[in-house]
């Protein structure tokens, strides 16, 4: 029997529907001398019969079934390593794919120069929208070979084990296997691989297709999408402590600040965006698990973060949990705090009081946000909907409160507008914001959804309204934060069902969802989509304009 060049292991558990797609991507590889091991973590659905049928179709495919479910990715990968016959190894999850030339490209990198592993770009595909992006593109933008992770510690952010091809001799030399019995095993395995490798090659070509399902049902969501579970927080922190111990024990303690920055910027940041949606009991448990670990991190790692993220971390560490929710809303979107307080030197701090400890003063100091001096188009305000009333008919009445902690707006009423752009057609609804007290304005705006201009074929999609302010000929547009608990309502608007709801994820904006119904959905929309000839499409556009 010919020895394969590469063994690719497909791990699977109760995923009979998607397993054939993953295996098909391996059978279609441009480098065909591969071994395919389907490693089944004791599935209870039709996976065994599907896997056996796939193995019967191709002599390169072998089916391995674990005697009992391990509850993770490590055991099925490790069992496959034991039987793999090739000198190079790769790993694939059953819900993902490899691009056709992934094996060829990574194997060529190994053959060009002796390295312990080669890695490439990961293409992310949103299952709900089809949107494509590259995971950590700045880390894989050019071809390079590094003599150890110290040459570019930023690569610690790319902790996926599936984007890499490993030399079997490297794994065996260090007895490197996936840690069993824990979640987030990729992070520990990858940290160990980075530190133990004498050399590894990075190529800019896509070598993995990662399908993301951000709104998957809780029962089928991936581990990283189960952040609502306190056990998930505990698992992630546990792995970080294991990584820290490994760095020190392996003589790579100098990487600790880089690794801590990665944890704060990536791992903690994922939880931070969800904090406004958590109840008091969950937040208390989160702080109880997270804070002891945060105390062990390098001060330099905190200093590398944007100020809004440092604010969230400090409020959490100080037990100001109600304010944590407020600070976490709009992270990364330039949303201002509701209030700042200045000390005798004029230094502005988050919240309604000057912090009473040196660490808190350092982290809650908002000077670098330039709330009172930055150019008006990039100024920071906070727009919150305090009341939302549907009706009559397809109308919405919004009570809006705007916070201006930098006191950028002049005293007196302000001209404002709500901007909504379904199907790329802007709808502008002017209204007035009246002063309530310094730095706080309130107003009401009535939005008639029937006034939105839609194309003949209708519009299907989600839009988030913006609030626009103007000053001395300059314009500023900001997010409109919604109450997180108002009930979802749906109204019939012409040939559309329009659902008004709070966005279920950070930053929690007001969200409007259009869906064509009736003749538009059954006849007009499918017909227009089939009009591929430019002249016919132009005629349809002219007819649409005439009908309006």
DSSP 440-493: EEEEEEEEEGGGS---TT---EEE--EEEEEETTEEEEEEEEPPTTPPPEEEEE
How far is the CA of 531 from the CAs of 103, 496, 519, in angstroms?
A: 40, 22, 17
Tell me, what's the pLDDT at 136? Answer: 94
The model's pLDDT over 163-189, given as tens digits with 9 standing for 90+, comes to 999 999 999 999 999 999 998 999 999
Q: For helices 321-328 and 307-317, what crossing angle results, to 10°?
A: 160
* Strand 34-40 with 61-65, pairing: parallel
Instruction: Give the Cα-Cα-Cα angle 532, 537, 540 (nearest 5 degrees).
Output: 140
CA distance 48 to 54: 10
- Give 145's pLDDT tier (boundaries 50, 70, 90): very high
Tell me, what's the pLDDT at 523? Answer: 84
- Give 350's pLDDT tier (boundaries 50, 70, 90): very high
Residues of the chain with pLDDT > 90, as a percent, come to 84
CA distance 345 to 350: 15
Token reading at 229: 């579970």
Tell me the average pLDDT of the chain.
93
Query: Is the dihedral angle over the CA atoms 135, 137, 139, 143 positive or is it negative?
Result: positive
- Give 215's pLDDT tier (boundaries 50, 70, 90): low
Q: DSSP H helical segments within 126-202, as ranges?
A: 168-173, 185-196
Say if CB 70 and CB 45 are below 8 A apart: no
Tell me, what's the pLDDT at 537? Answer: 53
For range 271-281, the mean pLDDT? 94
For range 56-80, the mean pLDDT? 96
Weakest mean pLDDT among 200-214, 459-473, 527-541: 527-541
Fold of 6-212: Spore Coat Polysaccharide Biosynthesis Protein SpsA; Chain A (3.90.550)
For range 264-275, the mean pLDDT? 95
Say if CB 321 and CB 280 are below 8 A apart: yes
Q: What DSSP state is assigned to residue 177? A: -
Token reading at 439: 């730095």
Tell me, what's the pLDDT at 548? Answer: 47
pTM: 0.89
Does the pLDDT of residue 532 top 50, yes or no?
A: no
On the CB side of 389, CA atoms within 13 Å amount to: 9
Token reading at 69: 């479910």
Token reading at 329: 């809303």
Residues of the chain with pLDDT > 70, as a percent, come to 94
* Strand 474-481 with 466-471, pairing: antiparallel
Residue 154, helix vs strand vs coil: helix
Higher per-residue pLDDT: 367 or 494: 367
Tell me, what's the pLDDT at 545? Answer: 54
**Spans of all domains in the chain:** 6-212, 227-369, 379-518
Say if CB 211 and CB 96 are below 8 A apart: yes
Tell me, what's the pLDDT at 218? Answer: 44
The model's pLDDT over 305-320, given as tens digits with 9 standing for 90+, comes to 999 999 999 999 999 9
With tokens 């020895």, the residue in question is 3
Does the pLDDT of residue 538 top 70, yes or no?
A: no
Class of domain 379-518: mainly beta
Tell me, what's the pLDDT at 10? Answer: 98
CA distance 195 to 193: 5
- Give 527's pLDDT tier (boundaries 50, 70, 90): confident
* Strand 200-212 with 144-146, pairing: antiparallel
Beta bridge partners of 510: 502
**Sequence-ordered list of residues with C-beta below 8 angstroms from that of 542, at least 6 positions apart, any chain:** none
The model's pLDDT over 493-525, given as tens digits with 9 standing for 90+, comes to 888 999 999 998 888 999 999 999 988 888 888
CA distance 451 to 215: 31
CA distance 239 to 159: 12
The model's pLDDT over 15-43, given as tens digits with 9 standing for 90+, comes to 999 999 999 999 999 999 999 999 999 99
Does the pLDDT of residue 437 top 70, yes or no?
A: yes
Instruction: Give the Cα-Cα-Cα angle 536, 538, 543 (nearest 5 degrees).
Output: 95
Does the pLDDT of residue 531 top 60, yes or no?
A: yes
The model's pLDDT over 382-400, given as tens digits with 9 standing for 90+, comes to 999 999 999 888 999 999 9
CA distance 392 to 160: 52
């Amino acid at each position: 029997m010919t020895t394969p060049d590469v063994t690719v292991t497909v791990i699977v558990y109760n995923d009979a529907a998607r397993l054939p797609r993953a295996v098909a991507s391996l059978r279609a590889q441009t480098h065909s001398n591969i071994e395919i091991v389907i490693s089944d973590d004791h599935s209870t659905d039709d996976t065994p019969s599907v896997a056996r049928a796939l193995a019967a179709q191709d002599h390169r495919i072998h089916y391995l079934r674990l005697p009992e479910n391990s509850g993770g990715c490590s055991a099925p990968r490790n069992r496959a390593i034991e039987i793999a016959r090739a000198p190079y190894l790769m790993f694939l999850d059953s819900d993902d794919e490899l691009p056709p030339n992934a094996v060829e490209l990574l194997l060529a990198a190994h053959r060009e120069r002796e390295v312990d592993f080669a890695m490439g770009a990961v293409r992310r595909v949103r299952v709900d929208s089809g949107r494509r992006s590259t995971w950590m593109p700045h880390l894989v933008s050019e071809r390079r070979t590094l003599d150890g992770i110290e040459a570019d510690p930023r690569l610690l952010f790319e902790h996926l084990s599936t984007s890499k091809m490993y030399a079997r001799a490297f794994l065996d030399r260090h007895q490197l296997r996936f840690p069993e019995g824990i979640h987030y095993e990729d992070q520990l395995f990858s940290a160990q691989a980075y530190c133990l490798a004498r050399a590894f090659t990075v190529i800019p070509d896509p070598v993995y297709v990662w399908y993301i399902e951000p709104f998957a049902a809780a029962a089928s969501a991936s581990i990283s999408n189960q952040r609502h579970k306190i056990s998930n927080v505990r698992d992630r922190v546990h792995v970080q402590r294991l990584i820290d111990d490994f760095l020190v024990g392996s003589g790579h303690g100098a990487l600790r600040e880089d690794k801590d920055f990665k944890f704060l910027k990536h791992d903690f940041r994922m939880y931070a965006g969800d904090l406004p949606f958590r109840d008091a009991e969950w937040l208390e448990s989160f702080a109880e698990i997270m804070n002891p670990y945060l105390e062990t991190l390098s001060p330099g790692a905190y200093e590398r973060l944007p100020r809004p993220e440092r604010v969230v971390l400090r409020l959490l560490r100080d037990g100001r949990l109600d304010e944590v929710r407020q600070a976490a809303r709009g992270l990364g979107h330039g949303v201002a705090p509701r209030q700042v307080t200045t000390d005798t030197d004029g230094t502005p701090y988050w919240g309604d009081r000057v912090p009473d400890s040196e660490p808190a003063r350092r982290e809650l100091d908002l000077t670098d946000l330039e709330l009172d001096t930055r150019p008006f188009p990039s100024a920071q305000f906070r727009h919150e909907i305090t009341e939302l009333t549907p009706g009559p008919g397809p109308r919405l009445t919004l009570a809006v409160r705007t916070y201006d902690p930098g006191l950028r707006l002049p005293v007196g009423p302000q001209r404002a507008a709500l901007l909504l752009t379904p199907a790329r057609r802007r709808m502008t609804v002017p209204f007035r914001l009246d002063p309530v007290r310094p730095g706080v304005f309130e107003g009401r705006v009535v939005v008639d959804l029937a006034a939105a201009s839609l194309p003949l074929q209708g519009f299907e999609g989600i839009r988030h309204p913006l609030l626009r302010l103007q000053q001395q000929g300059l314009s500023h547009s900001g997010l409109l934060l919604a109450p997180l608990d108002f009930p979802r309502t749906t109204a019939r608007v012409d040939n559309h069902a329009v659902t008004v709801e709070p966005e279920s994820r950070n930053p929690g904006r007001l969200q409007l969802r259009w869906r064509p119904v009736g003749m538009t959905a059954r006849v007009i929309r499918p017909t227009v989509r089939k009009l591929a000839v430019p002249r016919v499409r132009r005629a349809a556009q002219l007819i649409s304009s005439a009908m309006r």
